[in-house]
Amino acid sequence: MSILTNGEPGKRYLLMGNEAIARGALEAGVSVCAGYPGTPSSEIIESLSKVAGNRNLYVEWSTNEKVSMEVAAAASFAGLRAMCPMKQNGVNVGSDFLLHLALSGTRGGMVIVPCDDPGALSSINEGESRQFARLLEVPLLEPGDFQEAKGITRWAFELSEELHSMVFVRSVTRLSHASGNVEFGELPQVNPKAGFKHDGFILDEMEGIITSAPVDYKHGLQHAKLKKAVERFENSPFNTYQGPEHPELILVTSSACNFYCREAIGLLDAGDRVGLLKLATTWPLPPKLIEKYLSMTDRFFVVEEVIPFTEENLKILAQEMAPRIGIKTIMGKRDGKLPMVGELNPDIVTQALAGLLGLEYKPQPDDYVQRSREIVTRAPNRELTFCPGCPHRASFWTINNVLKMDNRQGFVCGDIGCYTLSTLPTGFSASKTLHAMGSGTGVASGFGKLKQFGMDQPVLSVCGDSTFFASALPALFNAVHNQSDITMVLLDNSGTAMTGFQTHPGLKTGAMGQEVPAISIEAVCRSIGAKVKISDPFDIESTRNALFELLEENGVNVLILKQICTLSPEKKAKKKFEVRVMAEKCLGESCGCGRLCTRIFRCPGLIWNKDKGKAEINDVICIGCGVCGSICPNAAIEKKEVA
Amino acid sequence: MTNIQLSQDPYNLIIAGVGGQGNVLASRVVGNMLSRKGLTVTIGETFGGTQRGGSVMSHLRISSGSAFSPLIPRGKADMIIGLEPTDTLRVLGTYGNPDVKTICNMRPIHPVQVISGEPSYPDLEDAKNWIRELSRDAWFLDATDVAMEMGAAILGNIILIGALAGLNELPLDREDFENAIGLTFSGEKVQVNLAAYDKGIEMIARNGR
Amino acid sequence: MQVYGSKELVEDVLNKDLCIGCGACVDLCPYFKTYKGKTAMIFPCTVQQGRCHAYCPKTESDLTELSMSLFGKPYDGSPMGHHEKILIARAGDKVHPAPFQAGGAVSALVTFAMKNGMVDAAVLTGRTGLIPYAELVTESESVARFTTSKYMAAPTLSAFNQGVKQGFQKIGVVGTPCQMTALAQMSINPLHTENFKDSVALKIGLFCTWALDTRKLAAYLSSRLDITGIKAMDIPPPPAEILVLDMGGKTIEIPLSEIRPLVPRTCLLCPDMTSEWADVSVGVLEGEPKFNTLIIRTRTGQDLVDKAVAQGFLTIREMPAVNLDHLSAAASNKKKRALAGAMEEGLLNTAENGKRAMMRIEKAVVERILA
Ligand SMILES: Cc1cc2nc3c(=O)[nH]c(=O)nc-3n(C[C@H](O)[C@H](O)[C@H](O)COP(=O)(O)OP(=O)(O)OC[C@H]3O[C@@H](n4cnc5c(N)ncnc54)[C@H](O)[C@@H]3O)c2cc1C
Ligand code: SF4
Ligand code: SF4
Ligand code: SF4
């Protein structure tokens, strides 16, 4: 019942960028789509999984990005069209495979869709996947609006199939997670038959074996493919120019920055002074097309996120063409006209362009700015926090308390998931290192070997259930095999909660809703010889005892804290307890409490009533987990089980 | 694509609130309603942890022409729908201007710092005055309270959509609403949402409850 | 006595390694916790004047104030503190024989006080493996589970705090001199709380030259033997110079020279050997391992001993003068060592520049002690 397959060709629908990419893949007749959840990419697979049944698709959430690429590549090898979406750092995870895939070539159309996150809106990095296209030497396409997100994705499959090379379609948060109107094309009637040909001539791309060797031959072939790609790029309708024939300045842009440039030109009413060259085929740049626009004027301003990628590539071409077209001034990030870090927006681009055009731009009247600034300081900021009733708050509460009581400067190596917030006060600042998926346990494994050098601090790592399968396992194996002394706390909330409850190998349901075998985390850990304990983080006391016991043990220990995420569809809106603060027992600010619940525990379901000097429960927000009832030092928070 | 004349083109609408208030759904519903009229709608979302107590803001660019940036430029909002008073103030500070109109739900959601008793939450009468000061017109609704009476706090967002429709600034009609809400809900839930929508129209006419 | 909050307690005691882990601050509130002999603060607290700081024996204890309040006279620095009588004692026939540390006078007095209704609960110190723990006991039959000394700093007073929370109003406590100091500080209502009620009904103090750091001792012993097999431990009076471990069947002797490095530095700055703030104080008796030295200090103490003797729970006899001399010399040595150390570290009497000390004693008295 999804618009994606129900919508009528020729009509326009409001789609999220990720849905537009999914529709593009459907219009291209995609058969297999595999990925690993990660904001801002997840909705591509999610929306495809909903229509898998009626389009005969195979959609899976793979264990991690590298595996998803391998799964998608197999489909391509068998002649099917395959797509593999991921968040930016997913490309890093699979880059070893991609490096070889670039050389080995592909058969059925194979499209990799990295969704970058400039400004790290929902990441802890703002890595650039475009750099990978250049590194791997594969074609890169960047849609500049919603319609293009669909159209370019569709085209990418054709291009890939023609070149026998994977193609990158790069999106960004502001496109993937924004929505716009998209006109639908036809859905093809496809019924492909999969088959892997492997006994033809060994070097035959379509019938021989698929590998990156012999490298010199395959690398040569790859360059021939790139050359062909450039030929196609020269005439691509997705590269557009808008503006006067003899502009003072040309803005060169791609992706979401296309919107900002258009906005800036509009706001400054500069449409007759500047041109806008929006590029969709950003690597390799098509030289003839570039030469044509470089010849139109002398000043260029490259607007892109995040690194000066096109700026640099453009400068290389401009230098090569200089004998014919003269010396050009190419501005952008390298000269500081635009910031090197963070995301851009219409305001940054407008101000920068105004500067280049000698204009002044004031978005709000001065007195309005002045007065609103005064007023806004009165609105308290919103700090990130775990949800009301989040199991992580309870888990980190206990982890913190145990480490503090243990009193040996123990610490947590953090990891990626909602529980990344444990570096902040909402997680009692328990996590002290934070890097890639699975790195918490890897780093812990290293710390756990430093006794030899006099380090006697207890070492903990935390890891979510999805992260466990995605990338913590090798680290855990490493710790066991190398006899590191660590305790891994597995925060098992039964789903990839952060990105919206996608499935993972520990669960009984697959991406398309089908029943699949669930792998037991506990059994895996036990089988490799780790000591395992399981506890419910809402049961503060037994969790504390379990953790204390494990801290006494050498070697690798695993504490599985099982409690389903508050937001999970299964749990939503079901209150376990009716909770109430008994004002007469609440100690408030006085010695003996000092507002533990609202000052330290800080579940958003609790309110500090300053006038009364008592804590209260906010009925709209409290989800009735009852944990605050067990942390109150004076048993002033009463919880009654809801029938 | 359409010959609808908007009072501003693009018409810039912001729906702002706190994660979990149903702000994303609201913007999607309004977007779909207007798309059905043939308008071009771009929605951008800005969030600091959508479901984790952070501020969430949707930008809607509504045009009879082409797609606009999913981010509204500073000072360029035409209408702000605030699901929470202090978030409304913050949005006004960045996107407001002397001509902006504001509809604000007066149910506060305390940020954790306030819960923890550090900064205090401003007095609601003050907040109203400030919102008035920064807007050309402002309407204040107790949408969450009414929504709770109707059975679920989350309906507050739908009440505000109804309120927006009631102002007749944009071509929003009930049939389009029913259709758009039907993309997400079915059966009884559609009826509940329709009731909330109607309530919103009623409330804005009375400017309050 | 100047009372501050937890911030100062952490700065002045925990961070300076002066905490003995007595448990006086533990479980009063959610912030101070004890684990394996160590006290830790798990979250910051913002209360400006707290019981934690007021009760801690290692924040500036004003000995004159305590003496005035408990005994109605100024602190004079005499080696064994204010007392009425010093006797030799041991458990009487009415007490079930148990493996007492020495004469069992402590267990006898606690049992009697419970039976007789003088206390409704008693705070005693047990041991799991090597780790001491505190427990609030409400039945006299349970007292026998807690006999023998655990020669380690123990969080005994945490159980007292729990008892108060549970509403007990007549609690008896057995503890070391530092713990008695904490209880004395509680009893003078240092925060001037309205409707203040002192829940301590009986203070039985132990003699103490030093205690051992629980974690250090555990680490030391576990590399040499199976610590779960330790049945009892003893430090016989001089000149033995050994720690004796009863391993159930065999005994292991460890020279004190090996053990002394495991004494926390805070014990070396402690001036009290005989629990001067207790109602009665009990130690071993030189030369007769199955007897106790007993010091009666207060009316409460005198009353308890009289009744216990009358009802066959305790037997007493006179203390020979030579024992008294030795005891006095030992107690005086401890005082001298502590005061000299505290002075050197600037921990005696809060200075004019505001540098906070750990005890307060009149200058003249200090001079007398050190003379
Ligand atoms: C750390 C320590 C150091 C000591 N140093 C000396 C000394 O230098 N000279 C001397 O004469 N006597 C010392 N004693 C006292 C002595 O060991 C006996 O406890 C005392 O003589 C009472 O003997 P008893 O047979 O009556 O005890 P029992 O009837 O066996 O009862 C022992 C009592 O001691 C309590 N207790 C045991 N361990 C601890 C502890 N760590 N903290 C608080 N309470 C505890 C128990 O609750 C129990 O009630 C010390 C005791 C301790 C705990
Ligand atoms: S019961 Fe307490 S901890 Fe749980 S959600 Fe409600 S207020 Fe928060
Ligand atoms: S009261 Fe006891 S446990 Fe607490 S800080 Fe002072 S010495 Fe340490
Ligand atoms: S020497 Fe003093 S501080 Fe140390 S345990 Fe004995 S009484 Fe406490």
Domain with residue A319: its CATH number is 3.40.50.920
Nearest CA to ligand 3 atom 3: C21
Specify the pLDDT at position B50. Answer: 44
Which residues, 6 or more positions from C303, have their beta carbon under 8 angstroms from its beta carbon?
none
Condensed to tens digits (0 to 9), the pLDDT of residues B164-174 reads 999 999 999 99
Within 13 Å, how many C-alpha atoms sit on residue C196's CB side? 12
What atom in ligand 3 is closest to the CA of residue C59? 6
Domain count, chain B: 1
Q: Which residues of B13-25 are buried (b: 16+ CB within 10 A; e: fewer)?
A: bbbbbbbbbbbbb
A365 contacts chain B (CB < 8 A): yes
Cα separation of B102 and A546, whole Å? 53
Is the distance from the beta carbon of residue C319 to the nearest atom of ligand 3 less than 6 Å? Answer: no
Cα separation of A376 and A389, whole Å? 30
Condensed to tens digits (0 to 9), the pLDDT of residues B26-71 reads 999 999 999 999 999 999 988 655 445 678 899 999 999 989 999 9
Are residue A586 and residue A499 in the same domain, yes or no?
no
Name beta bridge partners: A87: A115
Total number of residues shown for chain C: 371
Instruction: Give, in order, the Cα–Cα distances in Å from C306 to each of A57, C113, C143, C204, C299.
Output: 93, 12, 20, 15, 10
Q: Name the residue in chain C with its Cα closest to that of A599.
A: C45
Question: Cβ contact (<8 Å) for C29 and A593?
Answer: yes
| Cα–ligand 4 centroid distance for C269 (angstroms) | 9
Q: Of C123, C110, C107, which is closest to residue C162 (Cα–Cα)?
A: C123
Question: Cβ contact (<8 Å) for C51 and A592?
Answer: yes
**pLDDT above 70 (res A573):** no
By three-state DSSP, how is residue B12 classified? strand
Q: Name the residue in chain C with its Cα closest to that of A429.
A: C43
Question: Cβ contact (<8 Å) for B93 and A259?
Answer: no
| Cα–ligand 1 centroid distance for A339 (angstroms) | 71
| Cα–ligand 2 centroid distance for A420 (angstroms) | 21
Cα separation of A424 and C243, whole Å? 48
* B86's tokens: 């202090």
Asked, for residue A382, whether it belongs to a domain, the answer is no
Cα separation of A626 and A638, whole Å? 8
Are residue A544 and residue A610 in the same domain, yes or no?
no
| Cα–ligand 3 centroid distance for A116 (angstroms) | 53
Write out the residues of chain A at the interface with chain C, using a CB-CB cutoff of 8 A.
Answer: 400-401, 404-407, 428, 548, 589-594, 596, 599-600, 631, 633
| Cα–ligand 4 centroid distance for C211 (angstroms) | 6
Question: Cβ contact (<8 Å) for A591 and C42?
Answer: no
Which of A407, A409, A585, A590 to mutate: most C Cβ within 10 Å?
A407
Domain count, chain A: 4
| Full residue range of the structural domain in which residue B194 is found | 11-205
Specify the CATH number for the domain of residue A613: 3.30.70.20
Instruction: Give, in order, the Cα–Cα distances in Å from A114 to each of A14, A30, A118, A179.
Output: 22, 17, 12, 18
End-to-end CA distance of chain C: 26
Asked, for residue B149, whether it belongs to a domain, the answer is yes
Pocket of ligand 2 (CB under 6 A): A 388-389, 579, 603, 605-606, 617, 622-628
Are residue A280 and residue A173 in the same domain, yes or no?
no
| Full residue range of the structural domain in which residue A216 is found | 3-234
What are the chain B neighbours of A347 within 8 Å (beta carbons)? 73-74
Rounded mean pLDDT, C163-168? 94
Closest ligand relative to C127 C-alpha: 1
Which of A606, A618, A637 for mutating ligand 2's site (highest number of atoms within 8 Å of CB)?
Answer: A606
Nearest CA to ligand 2 atom 3: A628
Question: Cβ contact (<8 Å) for C29 and A633?
Answer: yes
Q: Of A620, A464, A587, A476, which is closest to residue A537 (Cα–Cα)?
A: A464
Asked, for residue B33, whether it belongs to a domain, the answer is yes
By three-state DSSP, how is residue B77 classified? coil
**pLDDT above 60 (res B1):** no
Instruction: Give, in order, the Cα–Cα distances in Å from A179 to each of B59, C153, C337.
Output: 10, 66, 78
Are residue A408 and residue A307 in the same domain, yes or no?
no
Q: Are A165 and A102 in contact (CB under 8 A)?
A: yes
Condensed to tens digits (0 to 9), the pLDDT of residues A454-465 reads 999 999 999 999
Neighbours of chain C (3+ CB pairs under 8 A): A
Specify the pLDDT at position A381. Answer: 86
Question: Cβ contact (<8 Å) for A379 and B53?
Answer: no
Specify the pLDDT at position C248. Answer: 84
Q: Of A173, A184, A89, which is closest to residue A343 (Cα–Cα)?
A: A173
Condensed to tens digits (0 to 9), the pLDDT of residues C25-48 reads 999 999 999 999 999 999 999 999
Write out the residues of chain C at the interface with chain A, using a CB-CB cutoff of 8 A.
Answer: 28-31, 33-36, 38, 40-43, 45-47, 49-52, 191
* A372's tokens: 């609103």
Weakest mean pLDDT among A118-127, A187-196, A345-354, B43-52: B43-52
A596 contacts chain B (CB < 8 A): no
Name beta bridge partners: C127: C132
Q: Which residues of A236-248 are buried (b: 16+ CB within 10 A; e: fewer)?
A: bebbebebeeebb
Hey, which residues 1-30 in chain A have their CB within 8 Å of chain B?
3, 12-14
What atom in ligand 4 is closest to the CA of residue C209? 1
Which of C56, C160, C208, C359 for mutating ligand 3's site (highest number of atoms within 8 Å of CB)?
Answer: C56
Helix axes B124-134, B85-95, angle to 10 degrees: 20
Within 13 Å, how many C-alpha atoms sit on residue C255's CB side? 2
Specify the pLDDT at position A570. Answer: 65
Residue A120, Ramachandran bin (φ over 0: left; ψ between -120 and 50: alpha; else beta): left
Asked, for residue B1, whether it belongs to a domain, the answer is no
Specify the pLDDT at position A519. Answer: 94
Are residue A65 and residue A197 in the same domain, yes or no?
yes
Are residue A23 and residue A81 in the same domain, yes or no?
yes
Asked, for residue A79, whether it belongs to a domain, the answer is yes
A496 contacts chain B (CB < 8 A): no
Weakest mean pLDDT among A210-224, A465-479, A604-618: A604-618
Cα separation of A481 and A244, whole Å? 67
**pLDDT above 80 (res A497):** no
Percent of chain A exceeding pLDDT 90 equals: 88
**pLDDT above 70 (res A569):** no
Element (H, E) at A557: strand A556-562
Percent of chain B exceeding pLDDT 90 equals: 73
Specify the CATH number for the domain of residue A173: 3.40.50.970
Asked, for residue A248, whether it belongs to a domain, the answer is yes
**pLDDT above 70 (res A129):** yes
Asked, for residue B6, whether it belongs to a domain, the answer is no
Specify the CATH number for the domain of residue B102: 3.40.920.10
Asked, for residue A67, whether it belongs to a domain, the answer is yes
Which of C16, C176, C180, C274 for mutating ligand 4's site (highest number of atoms within 8 Å of CB)?
Answer: C176
What are the chain A neighbours of B20 within 8 Å (beta carbons)? 387
Is the distance from the beta carbon of residue C105 to the nearest atom of ligand 3 less than 6 Å? Answer: no
Helices and strands in chain C, H and E counts: 11, 15
Rounded mean pLDDT, A562-574? 74
Is the distance from the beta carbon of residue C3 to the nearest atom of ligand 4 less than 6 Å? Answer: no
Specify the pLDDT at position B120. Answer: 83
B122 contacts chain A (CB < 8 A): yes
Cα separation of A456 and A451, whole Å? 6
Instruction: Give, in order, the Cα–Cα distances in Å from C368 to each of C65, C275, C289, C335.
Output: 18, 20, 33, 11
Condensed to tens digits (0 to 9), the pLDDT of residues C80-129 reads 999 999 999 999 999 998 999 999 999 999 999 999 999 999 999 999 98
Rounded mean pLDDT, A77-87? 98
Q: Of B97, B26, B99, which is closest to residue B59 (Cα–Cα)?
A: B26
Are residue A230 and residue A351 in the same domain, yes or no?
no
| Cα–ligand 4 centroid distance for A244 (angstroms) | 90
User: Which of these three, A178, A202, A234, is where a domain ends?
Assistant: A234
**pLDDT above 90 (res B20):** no
Is the distance from the beta carbon of residue C57 to the nearest atom of ligand 4 less than 6 Å? Answer: no
By three-state DSSP, how is residue C261 classified? helix
Q: What is the DSSP string of B95-123?
A: H--TT-EEEEE------HHHHTTSSPPPP
Q: Per-residue confidence at B195, pLDDT binned at 50, 70, 90? A: very high
Question: Cβ contact (<8 Å) for C50 and A591?
Answer: yes
Residue A32 has phi, psi (to 5 degrees) of -125, 135
Q: Per-residue confidence at B206, pLDDT binned at 50, 70, 90? A: confident
Asked, for residue A627, whether it belongs to a domain, the answer is yes
Condensed to tens digits (0 to 9), the pLDDT of residues B97-108 reads 999 999 999 999
Complex-level ipTM = 0.94
**pLDDT above 60 (res A498):** no
Condensed to tens digits (0 to 9), the pLDDT of residues A260-313 reads 999 999 999 999 999 999 999 999 999 999 999 999 999 999 999 999 999 999
**pLDDT above 70 (res A80):** yes
Q: Per-residue confidence at B209, pLDDT binned at 50, 70, 90? A: very low
Are residue A439 and residue A456 in the same domain, yes or no?
yes
Question: Cβ contact (<8 Å) for B93 and A608?
Answer: no
Which of A601, A628, A642 for mutating ligand 2's site (highest number of atoms within 8 Å of CB)?
Answer: A628
Question: What is the residue-averaged pLDDT of chain A?
Answer: 94
Element (H, E) at C136: strand C131-137
B46 contacts chain A (CB < 8 A): yes
Are residue A267 and residue A203 in the same domain, yes or no?
no
Are residue A202 and residue A224 in the same domain, yes or no?
yes
Helix axes A42-55, A17-27, angle to 10 degrees: 40
Name residue A224's amino acid: A
Q: Are B159 and B197 in contact (CB under 8 A)?
A: yes
Condensed to tens digits (0 to 9), the pLDDT of residues C306-326 reads 999 999 999 999 999 999 999
Tell me B8's DSSP state: S
Specify the pLDDT at position A79. Answer: 97
Are residue A344 and residue A293 in the same domain, yes or no?
yes
Name beta bridge partners: A580: A638
Among all chains, which residue has been given the structure tokens 């909050």? C5
| Cα–ligand 2 centroid distance for A627 (angstroms) | 6
Specify the pLDDT at position B133. Answer: 96
Which residues, 6 or more positions from C331, have their beta carbon under 8 angstroms from its beta carbon?
C79, C80, C273, C274
Name residue A573's amino acid: A
Q: Are B60 and B164 in contact (CB under 8 A)?
A: no
Cα separation of A314 and A304, whole Å? 12
CA angle A549, A551, A557 (to 5 degrees): 90
According to DSSP, the β-strands at C171-175 and C121-128 are parallel
Specify the pLDDT at position B48. Answer: 56
| Cα–ligand 1 centroid distance for A513 (angstroms) | 67
Are residue A165 and residue A180 in the same domain, yes or no?
yes
Cα separation of A4 and A51, whole Å? 8
